Amino acid sequence: MDQRYPTHPQQVPGMDTDALRAAYLVEDLFVPGEVRLVLTHHDRVVLGGVVPAGQVLTLPADDTLRSAYFLERREVGIVNVGGTGTITTDGVEHVLPHGACLYVGRGTREVVLADAPAATDGATDGATDGATDGAQFYLFSAPAHTTYPTVLVLPEDATVRELGDQVTSNRRTLRQYIHENGVRSCQVVMGVTQLHAGSMWNTMPAHTHERRTECYLYVDVPADARVIHLMGEPTQTRHLVVADRQAVISPPWSVHSGVGTSAYSFVWAMAGENQAFDDMDGVPAVGLR
């Protein structure tokens, strides 16, 4: 398990590109046949990528967590950003098509991830529409102090918000999966935002929320495209150049917004002391520097 230690906002102005990427960008979560995990000490969040690639993989109890099993003291939200797959939790199988989300509560001892039997049919390139040969699971985990039941949510059953405007190039559909009025959790809030064709900006006006850490996983980014992700304090912004299936860790004091050279989607997830979706401190564009 890779570890990313907390950073102070005063450190950011002195960081070069390599230092920024090392602290905040996760480039290699999705490796065929592997479970990749990254622990950020901001709110003790764990990010993970699981690509079964024809194998059956189990979520491990990494020594870094000092637990008998991964979810002994944690909860996790898992979104499938690939082809159809299955997740079996303590013997109960859940089938996740592309875009589905599974919440798994604290105390679940075994989490087994695999491709669905038909996942290898209808293979595509996976770079522009998300329909890959097999499952690709993205997980976001946080410490939990109570237990909620495991729940599967399909994309059509999510809470949907239509945001933005084509005139400002930020027309987007937001699907909320794990949130205070949907699937219950102890800390995790999770969903997926899809930009409409012709829109490139996400989360503008930008905002911060000092009460929780947020992470973005950018998906459906064409191979020849990139997203310019804005981060840092509102008056000391920096940027990261992000490719498909790369994740960004945003500390509570950092803005998290960006613009792409093409339309794309992203999985957003948060953990902290407040689950209210609208608990944010907005920053108008004219206030950014």
**pTM of the predicted protein model:** 0.92
Closest CA to 101 of 126, 80, 74: 80
Digits of tens for pLDDT over the chain (289 positions)?
A: 999 999 999 999 999 999 999 999 999 999 999 999 999 999 999 999 999 999 999 999 989 999 999 999 999 999 999 999 999 999 999 999 999 999 999 999 999 999 998 654 433 333 334 445 899 999 999 999 999 999 999 999 999 999 989 998 899 999 999 998 899 999 999 999 999 999 999 988 888 888 889 999 999 999 999 999 999 999 999 999 999 999 999 999 999 999 999 999 999 999 987 777 777 778 888 888 9
What is the pLDDT at residue 218?
98
Q: How far apart are CA 208 and CA 252, in angstroms?
A: 6
Which residue in the block uniquely carries the two structure tokens 């059509």? Answer: 156
Using CA atoms, how far residue 224 sits from 48, 262, 265, in Å, is 25, 9, 15
Closest CA to 76 of 170, 190, 246: 190
The CB-side HSE value for 87 (13 A sphere, CA atoms) comes to: 31
Contact by Cβ (8 Å): 73, 52: no
Q: How far apart are CA 224 and CA 227, in angstroms?
A: 11
pLDDT digits (tens, 9 = 90+) for 68-100: 999 999 999 999 999 999 999 999 999 999 999
Contact by Cβ (8 Å): 95, 171: no
Q: How far apart are CA 129 and CA 115, in angstroms?
A: 18
Fold of 15-118+125-287: Jelly Rolls (2.60.120)
Contact by Cβ (8 Å): 288, 200: no
Q: How far apart are CA 132 and CA 267, in angstroms?
A: 17
Q: How far apart are CA 117 and CA 80, in angstroms?
A: 15
Domain coordinates of the chain in residue numbers?
A: 15-118+125-287
